[in-house]
A and B are shown apart, each in its own frame.
Chain A
Amino acid sequence: MRPLPLWLRSGRVQTGLVIIFILAVCAIFAPYLAPNDPNEQNLLSILTPPVWVDGGDAMFPLGTDSLGRCVLSRLIFGARVALTVAFTASIGAMIIGAFFAHVAGYFGGWVDWVIGRIVEIWLSFPPVILSLILMVGLGTGLRNVVLAIVLVDWTRFCRVLRSEVIVLRRRDYVSAAQLVGFSHWRTITREILPGTLPLLITLMSLEMGVAIIVEAILSFVGMSVGSETAAWGQMIADARQNIYEAPFNLIAPIFAIFFAVFGFNILGDGLRRTLDTRLTQTERT
């Protein structure tokens, strides 16, 4: 058998991938895994505790919320929103951020100046506030949540990648490519992009965690998907109202968010250690 590539042998990367795999299974097979319909209200059994506590009902393994909806089912279905946002928003933010970072870093001069100022304007807004304002303008819904996160977080990629591009642009092989007469586009995609790719992948993994948190925040204040779609932030908002009667309802979605974000963070950290050769030299000593 061929040995695994270096990055897959890292315990952190493996842990992260296992967590993401579990979440993905929950999201894809949600209708088969969930014991109940996540939106079905059982007004006769509201706020029942989890099954291992006195008064728990085996029908609702993790209890019910204030409308008698099954917490476990909503948790499983919530993974769909979380993962959809995590993947699409981070890919979108990556594409925009990486594009501007490469253009700014490669061409330098006034292009770099203009892009730098735009990023500066973006950074003068706390991300939470900016995404909330964007959601007011765009209106609620899954697609707009993704759009808002992309529009807020592309700067994360742009800032970090730009300085990486500037370092790579000065390498001899880039000058060689330019001398051979490669077009700018070809130089960027064939010579520079392979060099920034490790950092880009790492950033993307971290961004997925950020996107999950932002979605949870938006749905917590009721500015994300509609109430008919189960989302972890909404579950928290609901449980916050009944914190004394059903504290467990709050713990379950908190843990789900933490679990997902931790998975992406540990994956990102593992990738950073194994893929980024320059960082690992100082980290390891």
Chain B
Amino acid sequence: MRMFATIAKLLVKRVLTAIPILLLVSALLFCILRILPVDPAAMSLPPNATVQEVEAMRTEMGLNLPLYQQYGIWLNKLFHGDIGRSIHFRQNVTSLIGSTLPATVELALIAMVVATVFGLAGGLFLFYVRGTRAEAVMDFISILLLSLPEFLWSLFLLLIFGVFFEVLPFTGRLSPGFERPVVTGFLLLDSLITGKLSTFFNALEHMILPCLALGIALSPSLMRVLRSSLLDAYQDDYIQQARLRGLSEKRILIRHGLKNAILPTLSLMGVQFGFLFGGTLLVEIIYSYPGMGNLMVDAIRNADLPIIQGAGLTYCIAVLVISIVVDSLYLILNPKLRVR
């Protein structure tokens, strides 16, 4: 019961600090994009519009007001769930983000699982081979892996499994001919709810390469932190004590070593998963995956300010949510932080 109270306290505190951060970020986003040499009014009118028409549009869009007033109006609309209309797609930004965000979240969540599995397994293996000749080799390999960002992994996996061996699909979320069920927007979930198993497996096939690319790219840093925290934990007396008590090495590792070493790894994960969420952008472009990253890059190419602002803010919220979730997990797993 007490644990819930402390976690609730942490949640409240984190959400309260997230609000000023988001306000500042939104102001930053607003200012950076307002100094752009593009005129949203001229862009939303046909090219043959007269100067008077553009001027009228500017007044209508509020572009002649002072910057802080424009920001106030924008913020007020934001609170009412209105981030504006896309100049290019002629659609509400909220609905554009609403239709692409689930795809990105789905990608990021599965990639996080992949990263965790690879990171933990690799870290344990690195620790297991400590002091042997294999350690130097493994250590070298982990630096090698560290030098391959998700961007290069995506291309690399695409070349091997998509082009050379042609075993996995690498464009979009579904093969042509599959109907997309829409319930929640999460494709894997939706196809299960509607009972379309063939769609589910097809979608899963499309997820394999992008998720592997993201997950593998993130895992080496997790591996290295887990290994060094395990090494640190094994310096402590309780490990010797456990040995003297005659516990098996496996039990020492799982019950004593890992339990303590997992904490630094977890706090790194909070930051890394935030990066991972941003990394989906590149992976989405490479795999033509219709998520927020593709929306964002399209918007950037078309100088579509409302989408850039909306998507930028959404990425920001996602990172804050991830870090709050990881911090709560940290609290659940770390008894030292629980009771003051």
Q: How far is the CA of A121 from the CA of B312 in the complex (A)?
A: 13
Q: B269 on the interface (CB 8 Å rule)?
A: no
| Count of A interface residues, CB-CB < 8 Å | 42
Q: Residue B155 contacts which of A133, A139, A236 (CB distance < 8 angstroms)? A: A236
- Which residues of A116-159 are within 8 A (CB) of B? 120-121, 123-129, 132-137, 139
B319 and A258 contacting across the interface, CB-CB below 8 Å: no
Interface pair A125/B151, CB less than 8 Å apart:
no
How many angstroms between the C-alpha atoms of A167 and B319 in the bound complex?
30
Please report the C-alpha to C-alpha distance between residue A243 and residue B158 in the assembled complex, in whole angstroms: 10
A171 at the interface (CB under 8 A from B): no
Q: Kindly state the separation between the CA atoms of A216 and B151 in the bound complex, as whole angstroms.
A: 9
Interchain nearest-CB distance for B126 vs A (Å): 12
- With a cutoff of 8 Å between Cβ atoms, the chain B residues found around residue A135 in the complex are 300
Which residues of B are found within 8 Å of A209, using beta-carbon distances?
147
B144 touches A121 (CB 8 A): no
Instruction: Give the total number of A-B pairs whose CB atoms are below 8 A apart.
Output: 117
Q: Which of B21, B33, B35, B301 contacts A124 (CB 8 A)?
A: B21
B143 touching A223, Cβ below 8 Å: no
Complex Cα distance, B282 from A221, in Å, reads 9
Do residues A124 and B152 form an inter-chain contact, with CB atoms below 8 A?
Answer: no
- Residue of A at shortest CB range from B37? A139
Stretch at the interface among A35-43, A68-76, A261-269: A261-269
- Chain B residue nearest in CB terms to A257: B152
Taking a contact as CB atoms under 8 Å apart, the answer to whether B146 and A217 are in contact is no
- Chain A residues with Cβ below 8 Å from B51 are none
- Tell which of B156, B231, B235, B308 touches A133, judged by Cβ atoms closer than 8 Å: B308
B274 contacts A by Cβ under 8 Å: yes
Of the candidates B32, B37, B155, B315, which one forms a contact with A129 in the assembled complex, judged by CB atoms under 8 Å apart? Answer: B315
Does B151 lie within 8 Å of A137, measured CB to CB?
Answer: no
Please pick, from A127, A216, A221, A258, the residue contacting B275 in the complex, using a CB distance under 8 A.
A127
Q: How far is the CB of B147 from chain A (nearest CB, A)?
A: 4
Q: Are A282 and B147 in contact (CB under 8 A)?
A: no
Q: Which A residues from 236 to 250 make CB contacts under 8 A with B?
A: 236, 240, 243-244, 247, 250
Q: Are B228 and A282 in contact (CB under 8 A)?
A: yes
A222 at interface, CB cutoff 8 A: yes
Answer yes or no: B164 CB below 8 A from chain A CBs: yes
- Which one, A129, A251, A261, A285, contacts B231 given CB within 8 A? A285
Contact partner, B32, options A133, A216, A236, Cβ 8 Å:
A133
Closest to B277 in A: A126
Q: Tell me whether A243 and B159 are in contact (CB under 8 A).
A: yes
**Does A247 contact B303, Cβ atoms closer than 8 Å?**
no
Residues of chain A within 8 A of B45, CB atoms compared: none
Instruction: Check A137–B33 contact: CB distance below 8 A.
Output: yes
A96: interface (CB < 8 Å): no
Chain A, residues 211-223, CB within 8 Å of chain B (1/0): the string is: 0010011001111
Contact of A121 among B25, B228, B296, B315 (CB under 8 A): B25
- Chain A residue with minimal CB distance to B271? A123
Contact yes or no, B278 A126, CB < 8 A: yes
Would you give the shortest CB distance from A209 to chain B, in whole angstroms?
7
Task: Kindly list chain B residues whose C-beta atoms are within 8 Å of the C-beta of A228.
Answer: none
Point out the residues of chain B lying under 8 angstroms from A265, CB to CB: 143, 146-147
Chain B residues in 8 Å Cβ range of A221:
282, 285, 297, 300
Q: A123-B271, A125-B315, A132-B296 are in contact. List 4 more A-B contacts (CB 8 A).
A: A125-B25, A137-B32, A220-B285, A257-B152
List 13 A–B pairs whose Cβ atoms lie within 8 Å, in order of A's numbering: A126-B315, A127-B278, A132-B281, A134-B32, A217-B282, A221-B282, A240-B286, A244-B163, A247-B164, A261-B149, A262-B147, A282-B231, A283-B231
